[in-house]
Structure 1
Amino acid sequence: MGVRGLQGFVGSTCPHICTVVNIPKLAEQHRSRYPGSTPTIVVDAMCCLRYWYTPESWICGGQWREYFSALREFVAAFTSAGVKLIFFFDGMVEPGKRDEWVKRRLKNNREISKIFHHIKSKRDQPGRNMFFIPSGLAIFTRFALKALGQETFCSLQEADYEVAAYGLQHNCLGILGEDTDYLIYDTCPYFSIGDLCLESLETIMLCREKLCESLGLRVADLPLLACLLGNDTTPEGMFESFRYRCLSSYTAVKENAGKRGNTILAVSDYISKVLRLHQGEKRVEELLPLGPNKALFYKGVTSYLLPGQKSPWLIQTPKGVIADKQVVSLNPESKQEVPMCIDSDSKQEVPMCMDPESNQEVPMCTDPESKQEGSVYTCPEFKQNLPSETDSEFNVETRMRPHPEIKQEDAMDMEPEIKQATTVSDSEILKVARMQHIHSESYLVYNIMSSAEIECSNTLEDELDQALPSQAFIYRPVRQRVYALLLGDWEDGASIGPAVKEWFVYPGNSLKHPDLVRPLQMTVHGGMPSLEVLWLSQEPAAQARRLDTLLACFNLSSSREELQAVESPLRALCCLLIYLFVQVDTLSLEDLHAFIAQALCLQGKSASQLMNLQLDYINSRAVQLGSLLVRGLTTLVLVNSACGFPWTTSEFMPWHVFDGKLFHQKYLQSEKGCAADVLLEQNRSWLTKFHNLKAVVCKACSKENRHIVSRTHWNSHYTGRLGRQGSSSHRTGSPHGHSGQGQPWRHQGPGSRQHEHDPWRRY
């Protein structure tokens, strides 16, 4: 994240750029300087998750009630100081940063393997040095902050750009995060979340002006430096030989800086003494060994230019600039112009980009794909200055890029009839999806509709455990039905729908390319409703249609009455448990008892009581089950938002229905054979609800010919497959499937492309 080696360099070689600041004092100075304005800090939430997650227990699936309490304290500390917080979350992974995303996910997989090795050998939670944030933490943090009354935004690109742009445009007190890119952007001051003391609200401010003094650079030179050193856009190896030459000729080497620090000093020296000497006389590409990476390099430099900013290194029109971030519509409030490159022939400012097909430059006001003028890519609007529905500049479709063609080499093992998904074109519906995405009200819906591409990060899953399938596969049929709902009827009534790119992390997936997953047709009582009905209709009957559609996504239409009789917030959990137990035959009656008991006991426990719970030991299977349930709750967020919110979001927030440590306690007790009254802590009212909920789940499963039994009743021939012995559960058409040889889901390589059926349903 950020610029390679810059964080360490600042700490070891340039500590003077780090200044201890008191945020309440800065806020008071801001109020004096700008009377009537509220001091505001814009928060890069993704950088803060580790800081915010303070509960001691993290291995069991998340201590959500404790976490919510910690977030409340964080918000209260700033509120009491009169400081307003604006939170930004990453809304999607930009295509140019996919390789970096994959690299981090694979690194996390190796860390997860070490975690499970520790659990099995030590039977306790690893130390904080192996800390891995609970699944779904970013997703549920959005909703927690909204529940606490905070303004929360989800980005339409990498969040750091939108954070920096917001801080600049709204004259914010500063940016709170942990990313050296905020030293590169020319925006408001950058505060470190890692050094924040919540009691005093003191932290470290990193000053880009002082950094420039130390390096002999101007602030406008920093984007160039960042790209030459390597960041998320320009790979580290791209300029490795160039950096080596700079270091070899650098004469002011410092012993205490180390090789990385001296490299930064050497490259900065080259920029100030060599590149700047010829600036204006020669193009940058004549002074740097760009080679075939010219377009990528210019994209990296321009990615740091905020609305209204220009770079002195881009005076002449660079060849192959792809500046989709920087070309923005005019902000009517800030009056900031779009950043431009100057055409050296006409001397007029014309934004340019490279047409990937013709390999020639075209004006950025022309969509290089459509060749039609007037299709300007716009930066996301924020709540403070959202244009009206009739504003001609607010054209939702301008943000949509046609999905790139699938290259032949990336489509291996793909059946010839598969088709790539097209984006949804209905502007009104797309506008609703976009606004819900920006304001953190939905999850993945806009990504599916706009680009037909989604991702899911690592989950605590043991790659050596052959008894449980990955959450990516278990919930895939639900996602497939959501695709059918969001992408609508495909052409000519074809039975095979368009494909969605899924970048889901699971054991055995190298992530070299995405799984291409087709929609799965489903039957909704009364017929499949349109998105207009689900999202926009105010008719009384529409709410019933929304619920019918949600249940159909989980294939639970037949259990509608039973689920409706369950009280909130246990109704959504009950729906999820039915789905899980129908899907996965390796879940036993003991597992069901543990899930239900923890949900009921949670209702009567405070965050402090949960914090003081002690576990006899840690069980690796229970760890997986905890993560599996939380991933199910995130799937519920997706389905609920896609269906027009038939249930209130709070119903399936984990702090209402799940606590990892409490579940682990109940799991260990249930595994020992403890009776229900012991699991329910001798609470008679909970015991009655326990038996009622158990009856609802078991009855619904029986309708699907799934009879939940105790582990003691499993026979010695039980294979541990997803489908029971004799069932026809299978994975269709997989080149990696091993029928009759164990668990096929563990062998689903990235070339796997079979998803026209519902392979994880038992038939």
Structure 2
Amino acid sequence: MGVKGLQSFMDYCCPEVCVTVNLRDMATQHVARSTTTANCTGPTLVVDGMACLRHWYSCKDWVCGGQWKEYMGVLKNWVEEFTSAGIRLVFFFDGVVEEQKRQEWVKRRRRVNGEISKIFCHVKAHGEQPGRELFCLPSGLATFTPFALRSLGQEVFCSVREADYEIASYARRHGSMGILGQDSDFIIYDSVPYLSVAKLQINSLTTVLYDQQRFCRATGLAVSQLPLLACLLGNDVVSEEQMQHIRNNAMATYRKNNPAPHSGPPRGQMVLAVSQLVSSLWGRQAEDTKHILQSLNLSAPHRELLKRGICSYSLPGQEAPQRGDISAHLPDSAFEKYVSPEILKACRENHVAAEGFMVYSVVCEGVIECSNTLEDEEDAELLPQALVYKLCRQHIYGLLLGRDGSTVDTPAIREWFVYPGNPLKEPDMVQPLPLSLPCDRPSLNLLWFGTGPNVSALRLTSFLTIFDCQELSELYGAIEASLLVALCLVTYVVLQVQTLSQEDVDAYLSQSVCLSIKSPQQLQQIKLPFLSSRAVQLGSLYVRGLGHLLGANCASGCPLPNAAFMPWHSFDGRLFHSKYLLAHSGTEKTVLLDNDPSCLSLFLLLRERLIETCRKRGRVLQCRPRPNAQEQSHKTTPGPGYRDRHTGGGEGWRERGELTGGPRHGGGWRERGEERRDCIENDNRERQWERGGHRGGMRGGRYFHPHSYPDCHSGGHQDMGHPPQQSRGRSYRSRGRYRLAPRWSQPPAPGT
């Protein structure tokens, strides 16, 4: 995440380094230079995707799980601004956490945990989203944004090592016009101009360029000396604590040589002091890193660490000890004996192209991590997402690494998952589990590279078995792939979380069904009387689950298009929250489904299949309405005339399907000490919508939606009683929008 204090030093202590630029003008100048510079290929910006996430996610709601449709619109508009200026964008995202930076990663995760705790305290105390000072990215944003950008036709890469290094290397190698990000490491690399995304004005395409030459003049250093400065100040390789005594000595010397009081921030004085030390070292010694490091008062391990930190800034083609271009070969893998060379190659290629998820880390590294999730550490009733999805991850590991149907000798996967109660002192060692398939376990090569209808059916069976939802294969081709994904996800969660109620399921399924008829503008206008901390956690749980299903899909050879797992097809945080409050207030199903008969019919089908699948496994859902007791103390508590003011003359919010008032029940299921009878018995009224003259219904004993959900691959209906047959290379079309087809369907071409 950059050099400690260097970004603020440039912003507040060295205004001459910060140059306001117009990117359109830069692009024009770049094209003019490219006519005489063979290395330049046109105006290209290399974008640090991880640094942009906070700037891209400008949607009002973030605590409920994300407003994904609106977010897609933001990304589309952002990309179009650059495209209209003739600027090509190339995006990079972090694909791994290097072990040498693991402790820094852990430190940040612990800090964010503290912020999340404050968020839940605020929600429970005030029933509303906290201000921007406690802003936290919706869970899964880093997972799904690369897929979103690819769907917009952008070139996206996922790193196989430190993303900053790959960004600087790519930009230098291709002669790009600049790097757009927010990481002071980019002023250290000898690459291309570093441009600030934080200072970017998207409408005018103006931003701040941090001028490396001016920075060198301000600090009295040469470009070749900047890596040592970065390491002594502290970065992701060399921690601040390890070089503290060096900085203390440098500060003492600086103050002795500069007795006048320092007017700027203390950190600015530190940067100047360390710069003076670095300059003096080069003045006494020949420009030999080994001799320079020996002149510092360091232990041998710290000297080696400093040397490694300096080398981390040397790009391919730049002279540095023990540095080579690792991009030309596959990484060494302790797990390579469990998969074929073809699988390893495909893993890496799909990972780098941001077309896969999870499998590269498991197969090539044997380690997987998951950052912070919006989870309430004080809620002992809901399991953390890391534990909810642990079983399906074990099955994914077993599918990827098991040989001859056995996982006996398969090594455990190191999991770095952030969840309440995990101190992150060491990884959780998680053992792969074999899949209980109705046939012999297929080879991974067959699943990934095989062809034919039998292989297609095997892929789908493997995918559904990971989540113990094999029966749902009958719905393949009868409903949209994104709804099948939602049903599989909610069914799995119900089986794993015993405290989930029928109301929770109704909220999940109804929002997935209703999302298709909502525009981003309509979703933004949903009114919420208050926020439920439990619904906040359930929203994040759902989105994290989509990531696990995406990983399972990739491991199974992509029986479903990856586009079907994207949250903008099946989830909106604000919509889910409204459905949650409605469902727990006893709202009738017709109203819960926006008084839309088609949506209601589809909802009842999904609900019935979920209940049937769960009952076969001994899991019976109970109705446990939870009218939020916090409502009584919130400023949104309905008072005299409240209902009339917010619903327009006495028409109840419940009847209109809008949330502008509080639930009518006075106490939760715990307070009443009773459980209502199985909700499915109360659905007779809603089921009448399926009969006579309505748009949805049954034909020949099978369900068909009136809008005719086609086979998402072949474009036609598919008999649900037969194994799925799919054309592996075709595009995924949903509601008239083009989606990218997966590349996992064909083996990589020789020599690629």
- Give your verdict on TM over 0.5: yes
Q: Which residue of 1 aligns with 2:487?
A: 574
Tell me, what secondary structure is at the counterpart of 2:66?
coil
Q: CA deviation at 1:536?
A: 0.9
- Given that residues 490 and 497 in structure 1 are in contact (C-alpha distance below 8 angstroms), is that contact kept between their aligned partners in structure 2? no
Q: Which residue of 1 aligns with 2:605?
A: 692
Q: Which residue of 2 aligns with 1:26?
A: 26
Q: Hey, what's the Cα distance between the residues in 1 that align with 2:282 and 2:535? A: 59
Q: Which residue of 2 aligns with 1:306?
A: 315
Q: Hey, what's the Cα distance between the residues in 2 that align with 1:58 and 1:395? A: 40
- Of 471, 475, 478, 2:385 maps to 471
Q: CA deviation at 1:702?
A: 1.1
Tell me, what secondary structure is at the counterpart of 2:263?
helix
- Of 608, 614, 624, 2:521 maps to 608
Give the 3 Å change call, closer, same or farther, for CA 14–716 of structure 1 in structure 2: closer
Task: State whether structure 2 residue 553 is matched by structure 1 residue 640.
Answer: yes
Q: CA deviation at 1:290?
A: 2.3
- Of 272, 291, 294, 1:286 maps to 294
Task: State whether structure 2 residue 470 is matched by structure 1 residue 462.
Answer: no
Task: State whether structure 2 residue 288 is matched by structure 1 residue 275.
Answer: no
Q: Deviations over 1:456-476 (max 9, x none)?
A: 001000010011001101111
Q: Hey, what's the Cα distance between the residues in 2 that align with 1:537 and 1:628? A: 34
Q: Deviations over 1:44-74 (max 9, x none)?
A: 1000000000101000000000000000001
Q: CA deviation at 1:569?
A: 2.2
Q: CA deviation at 1:563?
A: 5.4
Q: Hey, what's the Cα distance between the residues in 2 that align with 1:719 and 1:586? A: 14
Alignment of 1:526-675 (within 5 A): 526-562=439-475, 565-675=478-588
Q: Which residue of 2 aligns with 1:757?
A: none
Q: Which residue of 1 aligns with 2:155?
A: 151
Partner AA of 1:268 in structure 2: S
Q: Hey, what's the Cα distance between the residues in 1 that align with 2:225 and 2:457? A: 58
**TM-score (normalizing by structure 2):** 0.80
Q: Which residue of 2 aligns with 1:523?
A: 436
Tell me, what secondary structure is at the counterpart of 1:603?
helix
Q: Which residue of 1 aligns with 2:66?
A: 62
Tell me, what secondary structure is at the counterpart of 1:93?
coil
Q: Hey, what's the Cα distance between the residues in 2 that align with 1:79 and 1:156? A: 28
Q: Which residue of 2 aligns with 1:261?
A: 268
Q: Hey, what's the Cα distance between the residues in 2 that align with 1:64 and 1:432? A: 30
Give the 3 Å change call, closer, same or farther, for CA 40–694 of structure 1 in structure 2: same
Q: Deviations over 1:336-362 (max 9, x none)?
A: xxxxxxxxxxxxxxxxxxxxxxxxxxx
Tell me, what secondary structure is at the counterpart of 2:517?
coil
- Of 110, 116, 131, 2:114 maps to 110
Q: CA deviation at 1:670?
A: 1.0
Q: Which residue of 1 aligns with 2:734?
A: none
Please, which runs of 5 or more residues in structure 2 have no aligned partner? 626-667, 676-752
Q: Hey, what's the Cα distance between the residues in 1 that align with 2:471 and 2:458? A: 15
Q: Hey, what's the Cα distance between the residues in 1 that align with 2:128 and 2:94? A: 33
Q: Which residue of 1 aligns with 2:229?
A: 225
Q: Aligned residues: percent identity?
A: 44
Q: Hey, what's the Cα distance between the residues in 2 that align with 1:423 and 1:240? A: 44
Q: Which residue of 1 aligns with 2:728?
A: none
Q: CA deviation at 1:560?
A: 2.4
Q: CA deviation at 1:718?
A: 8.8
Q: Which residue of 2 aligns with 1:327?
A: 324
Q: Hey, what's the Cα distance between the residues in 1 that align with 2:34 and 2:567? A: 41
- Of 52, 71, 81, 2:56 maps to 52
Q: Hey, what's the Cα distance between the residues in 1 that align with 2:496 and 2:224? A: 56
Q: CA deviation at 1:526?
A: 2.3
Between 7-16 and 205-214, the greater mean CA deviation after superposition? 7-16
- Given that residues 178 and 192 in structure 2 are in contact (C-alpha distance below 8 angstroms), is that contact kept between their aligned partners in structure 1? yes
Q: Hey, what's the Cα distance between the residues in 2 that align with 1:185 and 1:46? A: 18
Q: Hey, what's the Cα distance between the residues in 2 that align with 1:400 and 1:609? A: 50
- Given that residues 47 and 177 in structure 1 are in contact (C-alpha distance below 8 angstroms), is that contact kept between their aligned partners in structure 2? yes
Partner AA of 2:134 in structure 1: M
Q: Hey, what's the Cα distance between the residues in 1 that align with 2:293 and 2:404? A: 46
Alignment of 1:373-384 (within 5 A): 378-379=326-327
Between 25-34 and 36-45, the greater mean CA deviation after superposition? 36-45
- Of 314, 317, 332, 1:400 maps to 332
- Given that residues 471 and 631 in structure 1 are in contact (C-alpha distance below 8 angstroms), is that contact kept between their aligned partners in structure 2? yes
Tell me, what secondary structure is at the counterpart of 1:711?
coil
Give the aligned CA root-mean-square deviation in angstroms.
2.0
Partner AA of 1:310 in structure 2: E
- Given that residues 57 and 63 in structure 1 are in contact (C-alpha distance below 8 angstroms), is that contact kept between their aligned partners in structure 2? yes
Q: Deviations over 1:9-45 (max 9, x none)?
A: 1122101100110001110111122149321000010
Q: Which residue of 1 aligns with 2:15?
A: 15
Q: Hey, what's the Cα distance between the residues in 1 that align with 2:404 and 2:436? A: 16
- Given that residues 48 and 179 in structure 2 are in contact (C-alpha distance below 8 angstroms), is that contact kept between their aligned partners in structure 1? yes
- Given that residues 158 and 351 in structure 2 are in contact (C-alpha distance below 8 angstroms), is that contact kept between their aligned partners in structure 1? yes
Give the 3 Å change call, closer, same or farther, for CA 289–133 of structure 1 in structure 2: same
Q: Which residue of 1 aligns with 2:352?
A: 438
Q: Which residue of 2 aligns with 1:71?
A: 75
Q: Hey, what's the Cα distance between the residues in 2 that align with 1:494 and 1:198? A: 52
Task: State whether structure 2 residue 492 is matched by structure 1 residue 488.
Answer: no
**TM-score (normalizing by structure 1):** 0.79
Tell me, what secondary structure is at the counterpart of 2:481?
coil
Give the 3 Å change call, closer, same or farther, for CA 483–214 of structure 1 in structure 2: same
Q: CA deviation at 1:618?
A: 0.6
Q: Hey, what's the Cα distance between the residues in 2 that align with 1:619 and 1:563? A: 34
Q: Hey, what's the Cα distance between the residues in 2 that align with 1:558 and 1:496? A: 31
Task: State whether structure 2 residue 179 is matched by structure 1 residue 175.
Answer: yes
Number of equivalent positions: 624
Give the 3 Å change call, closer, same or farther, for CA 280–609 of structure 1 in structure 2: closer
Between 277-286 and 620-629, the greater mean CA deviation after superposition? 277-286
Between 517-526 and 35-44, the greater mean CA deviation after superposition? 35-44
Q: CA deviation at 1:256?
A: 2.2
- Given that residues 281 and 292 in structure 2 are in contact (C-alpha distance below 8 angstroms), is that contact kept between their aligned partners in structure 1? no
- Given that residues 294 and 303 in structure 2 are in contact (C-alpha distance below 8 angstroms), is that contact kept between their aligned partners in structure 1? no
Q: Deviations over 1:706-737 (max 9, x none)?
A: 111101596889999xxxxxxxxxxxxxxxxx
- Given that residues 87 and 153 in structure 1 are in contact (C-alpha distance below 8 angstroms), is that contact kept between their aligned partners in structure 2? yes
- Given that residues 563 and 696 in structure 1 are in contact (C-alpha distance below 8 angstroms), is that contact kept between their aligned partners in structure 2? no
- Given that residues 38 and 82 in structure 1 are in contact (C-alpha distance below 8 angstroms), is that contact kept between their aligned partners in structure 2? no
Q: Deviations over 1:593-635 (max 9, x none)?
A: 1111111221111112212222111100000000000000000
Q: CA deviation at 1:425?
A: 5.1
- Given that residues 564 and 571 in structure 1 are in contact (C-alpha distance below 8 angstroms), is that contact kept between their aligned partners in structure 2? no
Give the 3 Å change call, closer, same or farther, for CA 158–709 of structure 1 in structure 2: same
Alignment of 1:183-222 (within 5 A): 183-222=187-226
- Given that residues 422 and 452 in structure 1 are in contact (C-alpha distance below 8 angstroms), is that contact kept between their aligned partners in structure 2? no
Partner AA of 1:468 in structure 2: L
- Given that residues 290 and 297 in structure 1 are in contact (C-alpha distance below 8 angstroms), is that contact kept between their aligned partners in structure 2? no
Q: Which residue of 1 aligns with 2:5?
A: 5
Q: Which residue of 2 aligns with 1:509?
A: 422
Q: Hey, what's the Cα distance between the residues in 2 that align with 1:696 and 1:229? A: 59
Q: Hey, what's the Cα distance between the residues in 1 that align with 2:543 and 2:287? A: 56
Please, which runs of 5 or more residues in structure 1 have no aligned partner? 315-322, 329-377, 380-393, 403-420, 721-763
Q: Hey, what's the Cα distance between the residues in 2 that align with 1:197 and 1:478? A: 43
Q: Deviations over 1:188-236 (max 9, x none)?
A: 0000000000100000000111100001100110001000111110010
Q: Which residue of 1 aligns with 2:47?
A: 43
Q: CA deviation at 1:448?
A: 0.3
Tell me, what secondary structure is at the counterpart of 1:256?
coil
- Given that residues 9 and 257 in structure 1 are in contact (C-alpha distance below 8 angstroms), is that contact kept between their aligned partners in structure 2? no
